[in-house]
Amino acid sequence: MPELFVTNFNRNFTGVSATAANVIRRQVRDFDLALVGQPLPGCPDPITLREARTLSRAAPPNRPFAIWHVRRNPEMRAGLWARDVLRLPIRLVFTSAAQRRHSAFPRWLIGRMDAVIATTEEAASFVPHVRAVVPHGADTDLFTPAQDRAAAWAALGLGGTAGIATIGRVRPEKGTDLFVDAMIRALPDLPGVTALVVGRAAREHQKFDLDLKDRVQRAGLIDRIRFVGELPATDLPALMRALSLVVQLPRYEGYGMVPLEAMASGTPFIGSRAGYFEAFSAQGRSGVIVPQEAAQAAAEATRAILSDPDRHAAMAIAAREIAERSFSARAEAAGIAHVYDLLWSDRG
């Protein structure tokens, strides 16, 4: 009888999916856990929502109730139906990363959770019932540095002698256009470097995607700025450790896992002033923060880091150390477990 149900209703592998998977791979060591909904890499095979409801009809052994850990609006709705309509003996825990005021319906849902875990102090200021602030962490067992970065890059067969990437949906909010502009400025001074746009454009962003490709074509860099589409989650660790730099320039980001996974892989990053990027950068030790809408500044930072092997090597070492010490999935799982214990012991 599971004591912990973790929901994942989204078929797409998103940032929320990645953070959930990182924690679940740790939690299965400590809890009788069931994943509900869609599969996640390295996690137990999922059960259906109907099966979760059936298994939740009685409290698990030695627990007053089961916990459902939810992360999205549809998952909160399903949890509320199970708890308040079906009267199942469960409690609901929600993780909130958004660093802005939620719209009315999500606020209503969040207000009915039994406990909320915020990923940052700023995120905590926008939601009620916060029991703990627990930063997301990277899976530092899965994302690890390459023994030989150049060989790892060559094995991918993507061209050139080194790689840079931005990873995420191709859309204005993610700043994909700013990345392209930065690479158009930087790559002429960085022979051998290939830049990748990793992610897909939804239907409503197809024109945006085509405009970016046309911009690259007109710059004469079609062989050096490559749009490789969305990669399976299982391919990301190999890519991350092979890259020399990750560049994320979103106009808005709730938290942002890509720089963390890069850091765990020993890869420095450049990021816009969004999400939790500034904390990740540790005053420039592992990453460089540039202003919003600053493609030129990102280009200059790219040239500066990749043109200085000693600086790049020092940032790579610091990146891994900071990820392990301050932003690991192990630490996140421990912080979440403390909230569960508060609920089960009724001390919260």
3-state percent breakdown (helix, strand, coil) of the chain, nearest 5: 45, 20, 40
| Nearest-angstrom CA–CA distance, 292 and 286 | 19
Identify the DSSP state of 42: T
Residue with tokens 């020399």: 244
Q: Do domains 4-137+328-345 and 149-326 have the same CATH topology?
A: yes
Residue with tokens 């970016």: 212
CA angle 169/322/270 to nearest 5° reads 40
Q: Do 199 and 236 touch, CB atoms closer than 8 A?
A: no
| Nearest-angstrom CA–CA distance, 18 and 44 | 14
Extract long-range pairs of 310-314: CB within 8 Å, 24+ residues apart.
312/244, 312/268, 314/285
Cross-strand pairs, 67: 4, 91
Q: Which of 243, 299, 290 is nearest to 271 (CA)?
A: 290
Quick one: pLDDT at residue 145? 98
pTM listed for this prediction:
0.84
Among left, alpha and beta (phi > 0; psi -120 to 50; other), residue 179 is alpha
| Number of helices and strands in the chain (H, E) | 14, 12
Quick one: pLDDT at residue 14? 84
Q: Do 83 and 89 touch, CB atoms closer than 8 A?
A: no
Say what the alpha-carbon torsion angle 108, 112, 113, 117 is, to the nearest 10 degrees: 50
Secondary element (H or E) of residue 186: helix 176-186
Quick one: pLDDT at residue 70? 98
Domain 149-326 sits in CATH at 3.40.50.2000
Q: Do 128 and 118 touch, CB atoms closer than 8 A?
A: no
Neighbours of 54 (CB within 10 A): 12
Domain 4-137+328-345 sits in CATH at 3.40.50.2000
Cross-strand pairs, 328: 138
Secondary element (H or E) of residue 118: strand 115-118
Quick one: pLDDT at residue 324? 94
Residue 341's Cβ-side half-sphere holds a number of Cα atoms within 13 Å equal to 8
Quick one: pLDDT at residue 348? 44
**Cα 104 versus chain centre, distance:** 25
Backbone angles phi, psi at 160, to 5 degrees: 75, -175
CA angle 208/211/213 to nearest 5° reads 115
Identify the DSSP state of 83: I
| Nearest-angstrom CA–CA distance, 23 and 169 | 23
What are the 10-residue block averages of pLDDT along the chain, 348 residues in total?
Answer: 96 88 94 97 96 97 96 97 98 90 91 95 89 93 96 96 96 97 98 97 96 97 96 94 98 90 97 92 95 97 98 98 93 96 81
Sequence-distant (≥ 6) Cβ neighbours of residue 292 within 8 angstroms:
251, 272, 273, 274
The domain segmentation of the chain, as residue ranges, is 4-137+328-345, 149-326
Quick one: pLDDT at residue 254? 81
Write out the two tokens for 40.
């996640």
Q: Do 98 and 254 touch, CB atoms closer than 8 A?
A: yes
**Residue type at 279?**
A
